[in-house]
Chain A
């Protein structure tokens, strides 16, 4: 099973709302990632978790709060977002990266977020 699942598929939220995105994988991967993709643009890395600990934060605003409660789950908590945060949010997982840089990242289908 090489599937990464993400819920919900679509989300509409107001600027004062609090919501969460969920990502799950059962491939035994110990690295998980959040990417943001604006329309017609390439994905941009937001966060990396390795062994359930945050290892990379690409200077993401604090209104985005990631959480990795266990090795299979990754959440992204959203609070006080702005309309410009509307985008496709992609989750991915992989074996923990090594210095050989060969591991494959497996992506979910994404959550399409609209902030009103």
Chain B
């Protein structure tokens, strides 16, 4: 399966933008990039996903590199409620197929 690499942790101040990187150099042309996050004491929740073009929704934006070997999840204004573990997951023929295979993720800390 194609693998993802994320920093173990990142810190941000409240109200500032946060850019969470993910490397996936072995991604195939049909693998989708999904992001989930897990708030403390909760189950994971879907954030966003994309294939080639940048994507926006009410929670975040996803910027995908032109060669698709990396992507960045962008939280435009971090709040304390955004403190969570963020998981970048590939899904597709080489990216785990129907399964969600979670990596170690990035622990985001948000400070006042």
B is a partner of A: yes
List residues of chain A with CB under 8 Å of any chain B CB. 4, 42-45, 48, 56, 90, 92, 97, 100-102, 104-110
| Contact across chains for A48 and B102 when beta carbons are under 8 A apart | no
* Chain B 32-46 interface 0/1 with A at a Cβ cutoff of 8 Å (1 = within): 100010100111111
A104 to chain B, nearest CB (A): 4
Interface size class of B (residues with CB under 8 A): 20 to 34
- How far, in angstroms, from A92 to B98 measured CA to CA in the complex? 13
Question: Given the complex, which residues of A lie within 8 Å of B98, measured CB to CB?
Answer: 48, 56, 97, 101
The main secondary structure of chain B at its interface with chain A is loop
| Contact across chains for A101 and B44 when beta carbons are under 8 A apart | no
B38 to chain A, nearest CB (A): 8
- How far, in angstroms, from A100 to B49 measured CA to CA in the complex? 12
| Contact across chains for A101 and B92 when beta carbons are under 8 A apart | yes
| Contact across chains for B102 and A102 when beta carbons are under 8 A apart | no
Question: Given the complex, which residues of B lie within 8 Å of A107, measured CB to CB?
Answer: 42-45
Of B41, B97, B102, the residue contacting A43 (CB under 8 A) is: B102
For this complex, 13 residue pairs linking A to B, each with C-beta atoms less than 8 Å apart, are A4-B43, A43-B38, A43-B102, A90-B44, A101-B31, A101-B97, A102-B32, A102-B49, A102-B91, A106-B46, A107-B43, A107-B44, A109-B42
